[in-house]
Amino acid sequence: MTPAVKAVGLHVSRGRKKILRGLDFAIEPGRITGLLGPSGSGKTTLMRSIVGVQRLTAGTIEVLGRPAGTPSLRHNVGYVTQAPSVYTDLSVEANVRYFGAMHGATAADTAEAIAAVGLEALVRRKAADLSGGEFSRVSLACALVAHPSLLILDEPTVGLDPVLRAELWERFAALAESGTTLLVSSHVMEEASHCSSLLLLRGGLLLAQLSPEELSERGKSHDLERAFLHIIQETDDAPAHRGVSESQVAS
């Protein structure tokens, strides 16, 4: 099966700073992959590279079998950035309709995307008059309306209350169930449990790619945050990545 995303020897520098330092990984289609790592570890830079808006210093990324950034991928890849890009002077519905129009979406698609993020009651509300959580869900609806096969979400649950966060993860699971590939970044480790596979990033290096169960086992804790910290410590103690198997470590 063609991976949804395949990165080989990916290096990205910005100015003189090396941001991503030799990443190799593949993302299985139709699953939720979590991109986890501390602030500044390179999550957004990696997402930008996959979307094709980041210049690579070395290496390659293929998305749905085509080089990242290929124009024909525009309709297949949805990207919700960390800072929501929504028109504040337009209503919820007008925003989603506008983004949908770029992908040939119908009125039914617009209604469906708004319903998928639970904003039916607020369709006519101006985006400027929404709460923070509602506002961020509008940008998610704007990405959903195009029915992308790969959906890239940069910290979509930041600022959401626990109930909304749980609801959103349910929607992500439903999307994956229907065949969409999701790549979701977070620095909240407890969210890792909702993912099938995790990419653990630190300082621009991929520490491991593993399932939440494997993380818990290898990090010797059911608390995924502790487990991650354990793996970080282990890597710090042994530059040769002792304790993490070869196949799961980027060189």
Nearest to 84, CA basis, from 157, 175, 169: 157
Kindly state the number of chain residues that form the binding site for ligand ATP, as judged by CB under 6 A. 14
Least separation in angstroms between residue 229's CB and ligand ATP is: 16
- Residue 181 engages Mg ion in binding (rule: CB under 5 A): no
Contact 79, 51 (CB under 8 A): yes
Phi–psi pair at 89, nearest 5 degrees: -90, 0
From first CA to last CA, the distance across the chain in angstroms is 24
Site for Mg ion in 33-92 (CB under 5 A): 43-44
23-53 burial string, b = 16+ CB within 10 Å, else e? bebbbebbebbbbbbeeebbbbbbbbbbbbe
- Residue 83 engages ligand ATP in binding (rule: CB under 6 A): no
Of 4, 7, 34, 41, the residue at the interface with ligand ATP (CB under 6 A) is 41
Cβ count near 203 (within 10 Å): 16
Q: In the chain, what is the greatest distance between 2 CA atoms, to the nearest angstrom?
A: 56
User: Which two structure tokens, joined as six digits, stand for 215?
Assistant: 């993380």
Least separation in angstroms between residue 45's CB and Mg ion is: 8
Cβ-based nearer residue to ligand ATP, 39 or 247: 39
- Residue 157 engages Mg ion in binding (rule: CB under 5 A): no
- Residue 139 engages ligand ATP in binding (rule: CB under 6 A): no
- Stretch of 2-10, 12-20, 127-135, 238-246 lying at the interface with ligand ATP (CB under 6 A): 12-20
Least separation in angstroms between residue 187's CB and Mg ion is: 9
Of 7, 10, 19, 198, the residue at the interface with ligand ATP (CB under 6 A) is 19
Q: Which does 187 bind (CB under 5 to 8 A by kind): ligand ATP, Mg ion, none?
A: ligand ATP
Of 40, 65, 67, 159, the residue at the interface with ligand ATP (CB under 6 A) is 40
Least separation in angstroms between residue 114's CB and ligand ATP is: 27
Least separation in angstroms between residue 18's CB and ligand ATP is: 9
User: Which two structure tokens, joined as six digits, stand for 166?
Assistant: 């749980």
Site for ligand ATP in 143-202 (CB under 6 A): 187
| Cα of 136 vs its chain's centroid, Å | 14
92-101 helix and 107-116 helix, angle to the nearest 10 degrees: 120
Least separation in angstroms between residue 42's CB and ligand ATP is: 4
User: Which two structure tokens, joined as six digits, stand for 106?
Assistant: 């119908």
Least separation in angstroms between residue 63's CB and Mg ion is: 19
91 secondary structure, DSSP code: B
Contact 52, 159 (CB under 8 A): no
Q: Which does 197 bind (CB under 5 to 8 A by kind): ligand ATP, Mg ion, none?
A: none
Kindly state the number of chain residues that form the binding site for Mg ion, as judged by CB under 5 A. 2
Q: How large is the C-alpha radius of gyration of the chain? A: 18
Could you list the residues that contact Mg ion (CB under 5 A)?
A: 43-44
